[in-house]
Structure 1
């Protein structure tokens, strides 16, 4: 006759695993962990169950009795049906009794993130193959965040555990503990959802909720973007950066702003040219700084800049017509510098140009490493990303949006408008259509038409 027993294999003064021992006969004895643990001092050798000295032990005792009954009932049924009874059978019944999902290495969230990173160059994205460097970077940063969160909750995260309560707690941690911005926290949830959907495509069990995880962005009214207007660009273009004595005094008066920077006419003129060029071609800082003479094309009439955007892998051509930018291209194409240095020098150039209006925006607090919303002099908020936004904002409604998004690389107009914090103006679109219509028809000779008056005359 089969017997079922629960027992401990250790008497250490700490929690140890509770084993279940199933003995069918002398040759068929199987013993596995039940998944429960207890301190040996709370275990009764007489009853083979936890002592009834607290609520936790009482619950474990009831669970073990439930398991005993479940194994007994299934054992009789499966023996009658000729099913093999072994360790695998026992493990399955333990998991079935408590509706546990067997966890595997492939079911670990962190492992699948690494799988995506390891196979980045062969992953198919729409009609292309391979992830962009920026996308790989995002997955790597996301993996670091998940690793940190796992340390916080002291467990590895399985896909089958990514439920709404899990996502709510994770979101709370991102925003309230890590103090990430709304956009950055929302981006992590978006990546989490993407990883879960990809896992299911690879036949890894996931929860239904993980495929519909909502993510978010800050609302338009909460977004504070900085751009350089045409008037401000004129200030930058015309500011005198050649007076060495004035520059030396400026460095003394602004030690924090100029820290670790070489404040010379050459270095500042180089950055001025990057600013002026960047605000006329609408590209990201990383793409801007990669421009060399090889990217510039002249067809005996016009200048063009051809490049492939690093983030989107899109091929973009920008026509250059602004006289001051043509001069930069022909005579003083700026030298490449580190992206971070460009951001630091841009603030110096803007302050020297008098762009000191106090505006509301976000600025990095170097002590907390978090961006803080407050009022700052505008030059403190200028970075290379402002150049691209300046191009988009300055030429919006002056040039058809379809042309602008072909240059910036946005996939659709709605994203472009969000980027510059604008709402679609349908009246403006209609007015623009009428303007182009008038231009198309202004040189046409009017046609004489005979209008009938309803009679035969």
Structure 2
């Protein structure tokens, strides 16, 4: 049977620390400082509590009584959930009971995440001579820290130390991300990638970590669970020629759709382009930009006459990604992009005050309901795949290798198609060459 009690470890004639010890049976005893002190002459060995001989000691008696109840209440709850009861759990109970500010501990997972955030502008970027991680990556770490804090508070009831991160911890964390938080498998997999990155970074700084961290592996959802929403060339023409757009915001959004599906960039990079990104060479238009996420310098040749006209004469004004996503859905609805397709859409009954309801639901919907600014980039890659050499497309989208590009558009490598494309270009290359004349010897010296 579990028990909570208090004691002093010294009889010195001065204030000494009051210890709390928790016994959960089978010789499992945990002892920590409560943060309170008392002179041993004011301590009762009979009750193991302060004597109530002064107002100060009466207050101290009540504080320990409060802590006793707080530990017992949470102990019963957490034991029923199978939560590990250890010194970290007990320390967390003491801190939460008295609303104490935690001391910085480099061994805590969330503290090392904060360390990375605080030093973001001087962090070395792997594979690059530059330093400083991107704003989007910083936001990713900030979100990851909130997820960890949520897991500590709602599930573990304790702080996570880097030494805690073993296989059992990772398995339970994945289960919580997918089955309790209802995150998509892709999003959950990214958080596991973040966990490994933070742990390895701490290990490089000689902070003690669990050896298992090197075996942590992220994951993505299976191809049969991925739903790639794209706009075909025919659908883009429907959008371009739609005469139902009267709202200025919708007309502006249509311009972004047509540009976005022709340049293959992420939404943030798309909305950041200006006329300054445009240059001309030999009468042709080029668009130069540096991708925010990868820091890659990309050049796109613009040849679609409608897009050239927009960029030269009707350049769209910038809007937020959120507003753009709202407007492009309306544009696609008015353009009758109504094909019923399978995909995932935010729960229509979701409430901001209930984060657990803010999840996407798999189903069949009119395509316009599923279109987002990310559809532009995927449409570009899908529409031009097998029409333009993959290496050229990768140079524009910024994918580091072909396998990632194919995974992005949910395609497997087609070796025959690659061979066909090679022969097509070879024939084109050699079609204008004159046949070579061969000299045949007639067997004489003439």
- What displacement does 1:440 show? 1.4
The 3 A distance-change label for structure 1 pair 18 and 418 is farther
**Aligned with 1:318: secondary structure?**
strand
Give the secondary-structure state (helix, strand or coil) at the position aligned to 1:361.
Answer: strand
C-alpha deviation, 1:208, in angstroms:
1.2
| Partner residue, 1:204 | 207
Residue among 227, 232, 237 paired with 2:235 = 232
**1:421–1:58 Cα change, 3 Å:** closer
Q: 1:192 to 1:60 in 2, by over 3 A?
A: closer
Matched, 1:125 2:125: yes
The two structures have a TM-score, normalised by structure 2, of 0.76
- Partner in structure 1 of residue 173 of structure 2: 170
Change (3 A) 1:323 1:104: closer
The 5 Å alignment of 1:48-67 reads: 56-57=24-25, 59-60=27-28
Q: Is residue 407 from structure 1 mapped to residue 396 from structure 2 by the alignment? A: yes
| C-alpha distance in 2 between matches for 1:57 and 1:112 | 34
> Is 212-221 or 439-448 further displaced after alignment?
439-448
CA shift for structure 1 position 385: 0.3
User: Whole-Å Cα distance in 2 between the matches of residues 232 and 115 of structure 1?
Assistant: 47
Q: Which residue of 1 aligns with 2:138?
A: 136
| Cα-to-partner distance string for 1:75-108 (whole Å, 9 max, x where unaligned) | xxxxxxxxxxxxxxxxxxxxxxxx999x981111
Corresponding position of 1:362: 344
CA 1:18/1:396 → structure 2, altered by over 3 Å: closer, same or farther? farther
Report how many residues are paired. Answer: 361
Name the CA distance, whole Å, in 1 between partners of 2:427 and 2:87: 71
Equivalent position to 2:310, from 328, 337, 356: 328
* Equivalent runs, 1:143-292 vs 2, <5 Å: 143-152=145-154, 153-241=156-244, 264-292=246-274
CA drift at 1:330: 1.5
- Give the corresponding residue for 1:110: 110
* Separation in 1, partners of 2:9, 2:171: 36
Query: RMSD in angstroms over aligned alpha carbons?
Result: 2.7
TM-score normalized by structure 1? 0.74
Aligned to 2:334: 352
SS of the residue 2:337 aligns to:
coil
Using the TM superposition, give the Cα deviation of residue 448 of structure 1 relative to its aligned residue in structure 2, in angstroms.
Answer: 3.2
Aligned to 2:325: 343
- CA–CA distance in 1 between the matches of 2:26 and 2:382? 67
Indicate the residue corresponding to 1:392 in structure 2.
381
Shift of 1:16: 3.2
Verify the 8 A CA contact 1:18 1:37 in the aligned structure 2.
no
Which residue of 417, 430, 437 corresponds with 2:426? 437
User: How far off is 1:167 after superposition?
Assistant: 0.9
Hey, which bits of structure 1, 4+ residues long, moved more than 6 A? 31-35
The match for 1:9 is none
SS in 2 for 1:356: coil
1:378 pairs with one of 362, 367, 371: 367
Larger radius of gyration: 1
Q: Deviations over 1:426-451 (max 9, x none)?
A: 11111111111111111112223468
Name whichever of 132-141 and 296-305 sits farther off: 296-305
Could you tell me whether the CA contact under 8 Å between 2:290 and 2:297 is conserved in 1?
A: yes
Distance in 2 (CA, whole Å) between partners of 1:451 and 1:344 is: 74
1:113-169: per-residue Cα shift (whole Å, max 9, x none)? 000011111111121311111111110100000011111211111001111111111
For structure 1, the residue ranges without an aligned partner over 5 or more in a row are 1-13, 39-55, 65-98, 243-263, 453-457
Rounded to whole Å, the distance in 2 between the matches of 1:337 and 1:130 is 27
5+ long unaligned stretches in structure 2: 32-85, 89-102, 351-356, 442-446
How many angstroms apart in 1 are the aligned matches of 2:26 and 2:239? Answer: 76
